[in-house]
A and B are shown apart, each in its own frame.
Chain A
Amino acid sequence: MFAFVESIRMALSAIWGNKLRAGLTTLGIVIGILAVTLMGTLISGLDRSFEKSMSFLGKDVLYIAKHEWFGDQEWWEVRNRPDLKAEYVEKIKSQSKYVKAAAPVAMRTADISRGKETAVGINMLGTTAEFLQTAFLNIDDGRFFTEGEDRSGARVIVIGYDVANLLFENENPIGQKVKMGHYVFRVIGVAEKQGKFLGMFNIDNRALIPFGTYQRLFSRRGWMRLDVKVDPEHIEEAKDDITAILRRLRGLHPGEKNDFAINQQDAFRQQYQTMKLAIGGTGIFITVLSLVVGGIGIMNIMFVSVKERTREIGVRKAIGATPGSIMQQFLLEALFICLFGGFVGVTLALGGSFMIDKYIFPSTMPITLAIISLVISSIVGILAGLAPSYKAARLDPIEALRYE
């Protein structure tokens, strides 16, 4: 027991006596631990922002569009697909019992202005009242448009959080007028702040107008999507239903391929899993590589340390140190060097994760990851220390005492 405390003391003072050497040796471990913790932090941050983004896409919402989100078809196979039509919405709703709500979504970019202020490049959506159910949208202020407004083509607009902030800095936007091209719209609602989708598209930078109005003022053709909310218990059945309905509407023969796509959150999930695997795999590769290199470095320096202190080992043995206590002393030395490297790595990663959090995307280092890193560096230390410590323990005291 006292010999163990002494071993710790001796190990620490041996490291302290060779600060620079120990510091340089531990660099590989530092890099390895830094890589593993940063990668872990990154992935956990990505996970969180992915899940948050996914909450914009309901699990039980199908997105019917011309193209697959992550299709593997060749472009020439899909380029001639016919456009979707708004009439499909009613057909789908009436013909499948699993469909809860459906809304057509048409989109284009537009500039919205008020007096001298102009919000440029706003994503302007034309949709129906049921969009509220398919899109998990909450209205902060005011209201969404009604079916009546949709049918009559009323010039009302719901604006996104950022648009409202830009055009109406300190005013209540409700009831105010904004202009889009020549057309004047009355603001009836402001959407709550939603953030960015996968850190890329700003969802708050948009405006919504009734579908009827959109078609009358802008285009009857163009990009369109159908959002369909289905019974969460019967998603697969709903997909089959909708496929059958659309094939019938399109008049496709049994042998022909679908000329439309039913997209789901799952497509993103699969894509994301692939990406995560790639990041994680690279991270683990770098980590293992630098830990192996670092471990060999530690082993090397421990062999040097044993060689340098051959005489000391001889003296200790002569006065009663057992092979076990000599082994313990050198193992502890290797362990402490690696643990120190681990601490430095974790500290740097902590700093790094703060930077990522501040400048890239929200992320914090999970505490379990820090603990795992320290455990890993301890294991590396012990493994790297085994051979040199064993050598020290087995030294013949007579030879060791004679060593110059």
Chain B
Amino acid sequence: MADMIKLRGVKRYYDVGGEIVRALDGVDLTIKYNEYISIMGPSGSGKSTMMNMIGCLDSPTEGTYEFEGEKVHEMDDNQLASIRNRKIGFVFQTFNLLPKLTALRNVELPLIYANVPREDRLEKAKIALEKVSLLDRMHHKPNELSGGQRQRVAIARALVTNPSIILADEPTGNLDSKSGAEIMNVLDDLYNEGNTVILVTHEAYIAEHAHRTLHILDGKIKDDVIKNKPKTKITVLKKKTPA
């Protein structure tokens, strides 16, 4: 299958009080369609910067980054905003839902910035919520939902624009193990449906869901392990959320 993402010699340096921090120090990476990748590494290794770079939140100091043929390293803020909107779905450790908006409005938000008419927005948002089995909770605000439910709303928000890639940064980090397993199930399902998923984690058992694991150390890819058969089924029963 064709290459989706191509990073070549990507460096990202920060100037922290006169001292240069090499968060990424020459990264070459190719990601194809329908891969399930986990990124691992100790804190300070550069895995967050890696994630931000792939997510187009950051631009390389040096090197090139092509996303489906678009040259990300040459983009300005508006173009970056646009590519994030169209091609990337973020799932954060702390969910990052807007507290004053209902689940439905939260999921609808990316479509607003994509200039989708209201009718279409609502329909697509409902489809996305149905995928994470939260249609019955769409009028609830984040503080009326459990942690697992919040993260599922966040996943629905990431899915709603039908992005090329889903980037999940420690998606289970703030959840108990049962909710965490639930979320991993959802991500596995997305992969099995043909989506490309990237996980950032420092838990080995979470990373095992992926079929390819990148180990990052000192801003470089230390290790790139590809398993043939990713583990996609999980032991905890998937229960439907009570209404």
Contacts and interface: CB of A to CB of B under 8 A. Distances in A.
A218 B73 CA distance: 105
B85 A401 contact: no
B96 A315 contact: yes
A116 B92 CA distance: 96
Contact of A398 (B57, B78, B100): B57
B112 interface: yes
Contacts of A17: 100
A321 interface: yes
Given A2-B115, A2-B116, A320 B57 contact: no
Contact of B100 (A13, A315, A316): A13
B81 A317 contact: yes
B46 interface: no
B82 A322 contact: yes
Nearest to B58: A398
Contact of B113 (A13, A314, A322, A398): A322
Contact of B78 (A6, A13, A318, A323): A323
Interface in B21-78: 52, 55, 57-58, 77-78
A319 B77 contact: no
Contacts of A321: 81, 113
A318 B98 CA distance: 13
Contacts of B110: 319-320
B100 A319 contact: no
A319 B84 contact: yes
B138 interface: no
A318 B158 CA distance: 10
A3 B58 contact: no
A325 B113 CA distance: 8
Contacts of A322: 77-78, 81-82, 113
A120 to B, nearest CB: 72
Contacts of B92: 401
A6 B77 contact: no
Nearest to A325: B113
Interface in B142-178: 157, 161
A3 B115 contact: yes
Interface in B92-119: 92, 96-98, 100, 109-110, 112-118
B90 A318 contact: yes
A1 interface: yes
Contacts of B85: 319-320
Contact of A1 (B55, B77, B86, B115): B115
Interface in A296-330: 311-312, 314-325
Given A311-B96, A320-B84, A324-B78, A397 B113 contact: no
Nearest to B118: A2
Contact of A318 (B55, B86, B121): B55
Contacts of B86: 320
Contacts of B97: 315
Contacts of B84: 317-320
Interface in A28-75: none
A400 to B, nearest CB: 10
A321 B96 CA distance: 15
B109 A316 contact: yes
A324 B79 CA distance: 12
B99 to A, nearest CB: 9
A264 to B, nearest CB: 68
B100 to A, nearest CB: 6
26 contacts: A1-B115, A2-B112, A2-B115, A2-B116, A17-B100, A312-B98, A315-B96, A317-B57, A318-B55, A318-B84, A318-B90, A318-B96, A319-B84, A319-B109, A319-B110, A319-B113, A319-B157, A320-B84, A320-B114, A322-B113, A323-B78, A324-B78, A325-B113, A398-B57, A401-B92, A401-B96
* Nearest 4 pairs of A and B residues by beta carbon: A320-B85, A320-B113, A322-B81, A319-B110
Interface of A: 1-3, 6, 13, 17, 311-312, 314-325, 397-398, 401
Given A318-B84, A319-B113, 15 more contacts: A6-B112, A13-B100, A316-B113, A317-B57, A319-B85, A319-B109, A320-B81, A320-B82, A320-B86, A321-B81, A322-B113, A323-B77, A323-B78, A323-B81, A398-B58
